[in-house]
């Protein structure tokens, strides 16, 4: 089955709101084995809407529209669909009464134009809306299916899940199961070579690798009758990929690096503290985004300047003067001071040059903007990780803008801790 998603609303074309509905519907239709070939957006204009609808019906079996079901003059989706498909609009007494009940319940006067929402194309299936006044509807005619849903996601999503998805599921007779694998520590080319034999032999399930902000994602997808069958088809493929990639494969269910690490340290009851310079709190932010991290996350320090490293952590001024803030020695001393200060079982320090290459006027030696730092390239980062008496330090030469350098530095820091925990567990 080929589908097209048709979003209706001038506000979408003007960039006033983002079309998140199309993203959601594409994902859920993919779960049903429905191929979404087209996304279209059209304004609140009956002529252009009719043209867009005709085009969609000419190239798709299923058209799902969102928006244009409200009570105002420019809400014309039902009227245009009915006209295009040669159907009359008829008053649905049940919907009319529900709209009246809604306004009575919220103690508001029902306007005359709200009656417009109770008119539905003849012979269509009603899609109840329990979160608003605009019902949806579904038309099946001449081998085509047209589904009309309101634009607000809080209304559209429950309507699709409760009515449309089960209806389409019966028609397709199959579903698509998909698992997202996350890989870190090797590049896309190296990873692809390690699993090339699996990619070449793929049919069902399929294997699709792609790069995503410093890490590699591998999506394994199976077409089958139900979710249980999908899992039984996907699991053996994942195990073969795991054999090739080892600990570089850090997630088989789409979790973020921070989610995986927080789960590990929580299971092992390992409390953690962090000291950040160039990442400016990004590492702590990633950790605290994970629910339940309060059980293990003790303290986080942003020591961006030399004075902060000296006064807050206790880093020696001599270390900063001799080696500079962006150095292996400073990273190691930062994490050592951090552990002495907090007493946690694990600690991470990060210091580096996030970029760009230019820097402001020189300031005292050792600062990230000092003459020492001017000799060091953007993207140079040092990370020190401590765990139960053992410390490791890594030098990274990262590329990209400031945001990417900081993000990838955090991923590397968390990955270092993850691998250290795994090695101890072995």
Tokens of 404: 């990417």
pLDDT of residue 358: 42
Q: Residue 344: is its pLDDT beyond 80?
A: yes
Same-domain check for residues 150 and 277:
no
Same-domain check for residues 272 and 349:
yes
Tell me which of 217 and 315 has the higher pLDDT: 315
- Domain of 208 in residue numbering reads as 177-251
Same-domain check for residues 155 and 241:
no
Q: What is the mean pLDDT of residues 38-67?
A: 95
pLDDT of residue 22: 95
Tell me which of 206 and 260 has the higher pLDDT: 260
pLDDT of residue 360: 37
> By percentage, how much of the chain surpasses pLDDT 70?
95
Which helix (H) or strand (E) segment holds residue 94: the answer is: helix 93-105
CATH number at residue 311: 3.90.950.20
Spatial neighbors of 423 by CB under 8 A, at least 6 apart, are none
- 79 by DSSP, 3-state: which? helix
Tokens of 236: 């053996």
Q: What is the mean pLDDT of residues 238-247?
A: 96
- 218 by DSSP, 3-state: which? strand
Beta bridge partners of 181: 218
Domain-terminating residue out of 146, 172, 198? 172
Same-domain check for residues 111 and 159:
yes
Same-domain check for residues 261 and 370:
yes
Name the pLDDT band for 365 (thresholds 50, 70, 90).
very low
Q: Residue 359: is its pLDDT beyond 60?
A: no
Same-domain check for residues 229 and 355:
no
Q: Convert 215-231 to b/e letters by CB count within 10 Å (16 or more is b).
A: bbbbebbbebeeeeebe
CA distance linking residue 370 with residue 363, whole number of Å: 5
Q: Residue 146: is its pLDDT beyond 70?
A: yes
- 219 by DSSP, 3-state: which? strand
Same-domain check for residues 55 and 148:
yes
Long-range CB contacts for residues 403-408, cutoff 8 Å, separation at least 24: 404/213, 404/214, 405/278, 405/352, 405/354, 405/355, 405/378, 405/379, 405/381, 406/278, 406/279, 406/280, 406/282, 406/354, 407/213, 407/214, 407/282, 408/213, 408/214
CA distance linking residue 166 with residue 48, whole number of Å: 31
Spatial neighbors of 27 by CB under 8 A, at least 6 apart, are none
- 176 by DSSP, 3-state: which? strand
Domain-terminating residue out of 120, 151, 172? 172
Residue 304 burial (CB count, 10 A): 18
- 220 by DSSP, 3-state: which? strand
Same-domain check for residues 356 and 271:
yes
CA distance linking residue 298 with residue 311, whole number of Å: 19
Strand order in the sheet with 175-183: 206-212, 215-224, 175-183, 249-251
Domain-terminating residue out of 251, 285, 317? 251
Name the pLDDT band for 345 (thresholds 50, 70, 90).
very high
Q: Which of 21, 26, 19, 24 is nearest to 4 (CA)?
A: 26
Q: Residue 371: is its pLDDT beyond 60?
A: no
The answer to whether 168 touches 34, Cβ cutoff 8 Å, is: yes
pLDDT, tens digit, 9 for 90 and up, residues 75-134: 788 899 999 999 998 988 888 888 888 787 777 887 777 787 888 899 999 998 888 878
CA distance linking residue 15 with residue 64, whole number of Å: 21
Same-domain check for residues 291 and 381:
yes
The answer to whether 257 touches 217, Cβ cutoff 8 Å, is: no
**Judging by beta carbons within 10 Å of its beta carbon (0-12, 13-18, 19+), is residue 130 exposed, middle or buried?**
exposed
Kindly calculate the radius of gyration of the chain based on its CA atoms and give it in whole angstroms: 28
The answer to whether 138 touches 124, Cβ cutoff 8 Å, is: yes
CATH number at residue 144: 3.40.980.10
pLDDT, tens digit, 9 for 90 and up, residues 317-338: 999 999 999 999 999 999 999 9
Question: How many structural domains comprise the chain?
Answer: 3
Q: CA 407, 412, 415: angle at the middle one, nearest 5?
A: 125
């Amino acid at each position: 089955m080929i589908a097209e998603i048709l979003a209706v609303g001038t506000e979408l074309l003007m960039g006033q709101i983002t079309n998140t509905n199309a993203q959601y519907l594409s994902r859920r239709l993919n779960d049903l084995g429905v191929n979404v070939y087209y996304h279209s957006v059209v304004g609140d204009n009956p002529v252009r809407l009719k043209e867009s609808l005709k085009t969609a019906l000419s190239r798709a079996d299923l058209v799902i529209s969102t928006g244009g079901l409200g009570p105002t003059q420019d809400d014309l989706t039902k009227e245009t669909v009915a006209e295009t498909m040669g159907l009359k609009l008829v008053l649905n007494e049940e919907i009319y009464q529900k709209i009246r009940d809604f306004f009575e319940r919220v103690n508001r006067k029902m306007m005359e134009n709200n009656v417009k929402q109770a008119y539905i194309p003849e012979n269509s299936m009603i899609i109840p809306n329990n979160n608003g006044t605009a019902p949806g509807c579904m038309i099946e005619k001449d081998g085509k299916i047209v589904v009309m849903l309101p634009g607000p996601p809080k209304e559209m999503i429950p309507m699709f899940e409760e009515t449309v998805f089960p209806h389409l599921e019966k028609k397709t007779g199959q579903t698509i199961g998909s698992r997202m694998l996350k890989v870190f520590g090797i590049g896309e080319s190296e990873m692809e070579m390690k699993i090339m034999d699996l990619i070449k032999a793929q049919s069902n399930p399929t294997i699709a690798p792609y790069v995503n902000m410093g890490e590699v994602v591998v999506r394994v997808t199976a077409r089958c009758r139900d979710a249980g069958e999908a899992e039984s088809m996907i699991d053996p493929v994942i195990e073969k990929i795991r054999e090739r990639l080892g600990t570089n494969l850090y997630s088989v269910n789409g979790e973020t690096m921070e989610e995986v690490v927080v789960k590990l340290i929580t299971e092992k009851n390992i409390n953690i503290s962090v000291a950040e310079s160039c990442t400016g709190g990004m590492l702590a932010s990633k950790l605290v985004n994970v629910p339940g991290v309060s059980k293990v996350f003790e303290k986080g320090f942003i020591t961006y300047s030399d004075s902060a490293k000296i006064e807050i952590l206790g880093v020696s001024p001599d270390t900063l003067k001799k080696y500079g803030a962006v150095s292996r020695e400073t990273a190691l001393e930062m994490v050592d001071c951090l552990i002495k200060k907090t007493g946690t079982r694990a600690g991470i320090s990060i210091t580096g040059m996030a970029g760009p290459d230019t820097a402001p006027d020189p300031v005292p030696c050792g600062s990230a903007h000092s003459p020492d730092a001017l000799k060091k390239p953007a993207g140079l980062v040092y990370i020190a990780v401590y765990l139960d008496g053992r410390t490791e330090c890594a030098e990274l030469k990262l590329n990209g803008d400031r945001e990417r350098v900081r993000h990838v530095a955090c991923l590397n820091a968390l990955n270092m801790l993850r691998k250290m925990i795994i090695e101890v567990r072995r």
